[in-house]
């Protein structure tokens, strides 16, 4: 297939995606075909607004519970694991409203921890249409992540204009700077080298944190936050990428979409002792919107699968993890993926074990045969909690 034909087919598939995805597929499908799992896919009632000047009497709880449910129904839903952990499409509509936190929670109040989510493993899902099967999941160097499957994912977004670089307005692809992961309300973990972009400090440059997005072309999805401060590891070395880890603290401002609900949860980080969990040889998944083979960012969130290499094969293994791509073409992180999470699934519970850092010897992404390098998060837990406070 020519590059032009491939691009056209991808565009056509993207345009037809809502019409195609009529059934739960692949990783979005419940582990079994039980009636409870099938019921979980049913659309929830539409929101009902209270009359002017009245307290909302119908929804329970009023602040962040499911719209239109009674207290008994809500309790039944919370206690039903089949329904609670079935992945329904999250952004931009966030149809499963009882799992979408009140926007006020995203910067200070406690959020649910992302848990019991199936790893995005196995063959690509099959999408059926008119008797024919399509497999349009493979995109670039990774696979498309189902909506809502990485609710901790954050985007570090450039401002609409960078006058020191260009006078034109930036498109969605130019606004992508880095990725990150929400580890606590108000806090995103990312790579230290993401804190300076285009020669400027991201706070002074007006960069923002955006949460709850799957497709970053959709400007009507997600919620944006002002970056309050950035904290780079004090021993970060920009030449060697040693200690390539940083914290971003975010807070709401007058541009924060407070009337919008999005699917956001925190992700737990690895244990304090890096040796507590033997990761060598385990599969892990990194997420991002970075460059693909087409040399342009991906609009939908993608994931790549890697195999964690033995410590003996990874330089500076005390503070780094090396992951070798396992896909047919070997998934590797690329520009724009930096700062994004490397997730290991512990009994279906996502655990943040790495931060996308760099490729060995600055090799061109997608072409090197060496493993990519991720900052080992567990080695920095004490340093992280110095600022965020205790983490789960």
CATH number for the domain spanning 360: value is 2.40.10.10
**For residue 199, which phi and psi values (nearest 5 degrees)?**
80, 5
Instruction: Please count the other Cβ atoms lying within 10 Å of the Cβ belonging to residue 219.
Output: 12
Decide if 64 is inside a domain.
Answer: yes
For position 122, what pLDDT does the model report? 57
Answer whether residue 20 is part of any domain: no
Positions of E strands within the chain: 127-129, 132-134, 138-139, 142-144, 153-157, 176-184, 187-190, 196-197, 200-201, 208-211, 223-232, 246-251, 268-269, 283-288, 302-308, 320-325, 341-346, 349-359, 372-376
What's the pLDDT band for 191 if we cut at 50, 70, 90? Answer: very high
Domain boundary among 68, 86, 104: 86
Residue 191 within any structural domain of the chain: no
Lowest-pLDDT range of 108-117, 170-179, 312-321: 108-117
CA 127 and chain centroid, separation:
23
Q: Which residue has the higher pLDDT, 135 or 100?
A: 100
Find, among 268, 178, 277, the residue nearest to 230 by Cα: 178
Is 232's pLDDT higher than 90? yes
Residue 360: phi, psi to the nearest 5? -60, 135
> ∠ CA(93), CA(146), CA(132), 5° rounding?
105
Based on DSSP, count helices (H) and strands (E) in the chain, helices before strands.
6, 19
Lowest-pLDDT choice from 14-23, 292-301, 358-367, 374-383? 14-23
- Closest residue by Cα to residue 351 from 136, 89, 172, 119: 119
pLDDT at residue 94 is higher than 70: no
Query: How many C-alpha atoms does 347 have within 13 Å on its Cβ side?
Result: 1
What is the pLDDT of the chain when averaged over all its residues?
Answer: 74
The CA distance from 177 to 207, in Å, is 9
pLDDT level of residue 145 (50, 70, 90 thresholds): confident
Report the distance separating Cα 68 and Cα 6, nearest Å: 44
Confidence of residue 80 (pLDDT cuts 50, 70, 90): low
d(CA 176, CA 354) in angstroms, rounded, equals 20
Structurally, the chain folds into a number of domains equal to 2
The predicted pLDDT at position 37 comes to 35
**pLDDT of 154 higher than 50:** yes
Domain boundary residue, one of 71, 86, 101: 86
Task: Please give the residue that has the higher pLDDT: either 191 or 77.
Answer: 191
Say whether pLDDT at 128 is over 70: no
Instruction: Quote the pTM value.
Output: 0.74
Give the C-alpha separation, 53 to 339, whole Å. 45
Residue 99 lies in a domain: no
Query: Token digits for 382?
Result: 């004490």
The per-residue pLDDT for 35 is 37
Tokens of 74: 């809500």
Give the domain range for residue 364: 268-383
CB atoms within 10 A of CB 42: 8
Domain boundary residue among 52, 86, 120? 86
* pLDDT above 60: residue 56: no
Q: Over the stretch 237-287, which tens digit does the pLDDT of each residue have? A: 999 999 999 999 999 999 999 888 888 999 999 876 656 678 989 999 999
User: Average pLDDT in the 359-383 region?
Assistant: 82
Question: Nearest 5°: phi and psi at 172?
Answer: -60, -35
- Could you tell me if 219 and 257 are in contact, meaning their C-beta atoms sit under 8 angstroms apart? no
In a domain, 59, yes or no: yes
The neighbouring-strand residues paired with 390 are none
Q: Within a domain: residue 251?
A: no
Query: In angstroms, how far is CA 153 from the centroid of its own chain?
Result: 2
3-state secondary structure 287-323: EECCECCCCCECCECEEEEEEECCHHHCCCCCCEEEE
pLDDT of residue 71 exceeding 80: no
CA distances from 275 to 150, 261, 291, 318, 379 (A): 26, 39, 33, 9, 10
- Of 315, 299, 291, 290, the C-alpha closest to 370 is 315
pLDDT of residue 141: 60
List residues bridging with 308 in a β-sheet: 323
What tokens does 371 get? 């493993």
Of 68 and 324, more confident? 324
Tell me if 70 is assigned to some domain. Answer: yes
Q: Is residue 361 part of a domain?
A: yes
pLDDT of 79 reads 55
Lowest mean pLDDT among 42-51, 85-94, 223-232: 42-51
Q: What is the percent of the chain with per-residue pLDDT over 70, rounded to a whole number?
A: 65
Give the separation between CA 192 and CA 236, rounded to whole angstroms: 7
pLDDT band, very low/low/confident/very high, at 96 (cuts 50, 70, 90): low
Q: Which residue has the higher pLDDT, 40 or 150?
A: 150
């Amino acid at each position: 297939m020519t590059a032009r034909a491939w691009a056209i087919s991808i565009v056509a598939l993207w345009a037809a995606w809502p019409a195609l995805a009529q059934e739960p597929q692949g990783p979005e499908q419940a582990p079994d075909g039980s009636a409870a799992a099938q019921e979980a896919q049913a659309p929830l009632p539409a929101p009902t607004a209270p009359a002017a000047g009245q307290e909302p009497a119908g929804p329970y709880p009023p602040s962040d519970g499911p719209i239109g449910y009674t207290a008994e129904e809500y309790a039944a839903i919370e206690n039903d694991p089949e329904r609670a952990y079935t992945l329904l499409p999250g952004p931009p509509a966030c149809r499963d409203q009882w799992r979408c936190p009140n926007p006020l929670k995203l910067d200070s109040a406690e959020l649910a921890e992302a848990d019991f989510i199936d790893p995005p493993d196995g063959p690509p899902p099959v999408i059926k249409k008119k008797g024919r099967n399509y497999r349009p999941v493979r995109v670039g160097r990774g696979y498309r992540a189902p909506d809502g499957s990485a609710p901790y994912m954050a985007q570090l977004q450039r401002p609409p204009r960078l006058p020191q670089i260009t006078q034109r307005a930036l498109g969605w692809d130019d606004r992508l700077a880095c990725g990150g992961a929400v580890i606590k309300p108000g806090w995103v973990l990312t790579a230290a080298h993401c804190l300076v972009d285009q020669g400027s400090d991201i706070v002074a440059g007006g960069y923002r944190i955006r949460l709850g997005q799957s497709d970053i072309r959709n400007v009507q999805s997600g919620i944006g936050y002002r970056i309050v401060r950035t904290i780079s590891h004090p021993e970060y070395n920009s030449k060697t990428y040693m200690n390539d880890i940083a914290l971003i603290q975010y807070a709401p401002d007058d541009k924060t979409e407070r009337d919008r609900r999005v699917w956001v949860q925190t992700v737990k980080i690895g244990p304090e002792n890096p040796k507590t969990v033997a990761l060598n040889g385990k599969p892990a998944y990194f997420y991002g919107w970075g460059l693909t083979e087409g040399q342009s960012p991906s609009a939908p969130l993608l994931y790549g699968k890697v195999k964690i290499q033995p410590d003996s094969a990874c330089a500076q293994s005390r503070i780094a993890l090396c992951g070798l791509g396992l896909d047919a073409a070997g998934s590797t992180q690329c520009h724009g993926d930096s700062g994004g999470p490397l997730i290991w699934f512990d009994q279906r519970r996502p655990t943040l074990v790495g931060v996308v850092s760099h490729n060995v010897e600055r090799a061109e992404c997608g072409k090197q045969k060496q493993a990519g390098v991720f900052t080992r998060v567990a080695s920095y837990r004490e340093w992280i909690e110095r600022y965020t406070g205790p983490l789960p």
